[in-house]
């Protein structure tokens, strides 16, 4: 099955700086790579996703890049704000029924 | 207007008891899931159903039995609860052919 590794496990950044989270996956058949944000005590919510036919996708302050050859993808958050503090999960999927999640990155934005 | 709703939100029970968690989605999705989130925040899929049919059972103990009476509902029944079952259980749904998952608010299960 798919194995997704996520680094770092914790990330502390100064407000206004950028944050980068990296994930690698094992199954070369994976073709869908979403990122979820989970605030304390809340449900995970999709913030951005990318499919294997695209190398980069951007939505305002967040962007995701995908390197299929190296089997890794990254989340970039620019101009971080206190409300960006949360746990972020990457995931990978090769079929329509199962998302394999990374272990999560706890992001803390210092004011 | 809640898209994916699960009840109860909190569940405290003693070891050995049997309990159920209910999940309903009003998004018209074909696929529903149960995920378990442990104390280290790791999200692991337990079951996946498509149009009421079991698609994925990720080596979950058979004390856990999902039931899907229709494609809008996926309930989870747990027999003989153990301390290690304490976790947050999330129900989720997604459209057919699209793997974006919409999560319910979670059920925090505490076994004492």
pLDDT at B38: 93
Which of the four pLDDT bands, split at 50, 70 and 90, describes residue B90?
A: very high
Identify the CA nearest to B4 among candidates B73, B54, B87, B78: B73
- The set of residues, in sequence order, having a beta carbon less than 8 Å from that of B71 and lying 6+ positions away, is B29, B30, B32, B49, B51, B52
Which of the four pLDDT bands, split at 50, 70 and 90, describes residue B52?
A: confident
Whether A91 shows a pLDDT value over 80: the answer reads yes
Query: CA-to-CA distance for A46 and A55, rounded, in angstroms?
Result: 19
Query: CA-to-CA distance for B78 and B18, rounded, in angstroms?
Result: 6
CB contact under 8 A, A101 and B98: no
B41 touches chain A (CB under 8 A): yes
Query: CA-to-CA distance for B25 and B4, rounded, in angstroms?
Result: 4
B90 touches chain A (CB under 8 A): yes
pLDDT at B55: 85
SS (H, E, C) chain B: CCCEEEECCEEEECCCCCEEEEEEECCCCCEEEEEEECCCCCEEEEEEEECCEEEEECCCCCCEEEEEEECCEEEEEECCCCHHHCEEEEEEEECCCCCCCEECCCEEEEEC
CB contact under 8 A, B50 and A97: yes
Whether B97 shows a pLDDT value over 90: the answer reads no
Q: What is the CA radius of gyration of chain A?
A: 13
For residue B18, the distance in angstroms to the closest alpha carbon of chain A comes to 25
Hey, CA dihedral for A9, A10, A15, A18, is it positive or negative?
negative
pLDDT by residue (tens digit) across B62-79? 999 999 999 999 999 999
B43 touches chain A (CB under 8 A): yes
Q: What angle do CA A12, A90, A99 make, to 5 degrees?
A: 155
* φ, ψ dihedrals at A80, nearest 5°: -60, 145
pLDDT by residue (tens digit) across A41-61? 999 999 999 998 889 999 999
Whether B96 shows a pLDDT value over 80: the answer reads no
- % of chain A with per-residue pLDDT over 90: 87
């Amino acid at each position: 099955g798919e194995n997704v590794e996520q680094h770092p496990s914790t990330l502390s950044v100064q407000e206004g700086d950028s944050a980068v989270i990296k994930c690698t996956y094992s199954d070369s058949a994976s073709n869908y790579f979403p990122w979820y944000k989970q605030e304390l005590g809340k449900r995970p919510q999709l913030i951005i996703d990318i499919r294997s036919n695209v190398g980069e996708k951007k939505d305002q302050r967040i962007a995701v890049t995908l390197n299929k050859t190296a089997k890794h993808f990254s989340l970039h958050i620019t101009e971080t704000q206190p409300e960006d503090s949360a746990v972020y999960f990457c995931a990978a999927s090769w079929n329509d029924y199962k998302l394999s999640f990374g272990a999560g990155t706890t992001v803390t934005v210092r004011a | 207007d809640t898209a994916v709703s699960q009840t109860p939100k909190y569940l405290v029970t003693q070891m050995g008891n049997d309990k159920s968690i209910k999940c309903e989605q009003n998004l018209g999705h074909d696929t529903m899931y149960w995920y378990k989130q442990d104390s280290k925040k790791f999200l692991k899929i337990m079951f996946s159903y498509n149009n009421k049919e079991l698609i994925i059972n990720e080596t979950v103990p058979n004390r856990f039995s999902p039931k899907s009476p229709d494609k809008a509902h996926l309930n989870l029944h747990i027999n003989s609860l153990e301390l290690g079952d304490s976790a947050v259980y999330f129900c989720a749904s997604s459209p057919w052919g699209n793997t974006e998952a919409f999560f319910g608010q979670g059920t925090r299960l505490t076994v004492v």
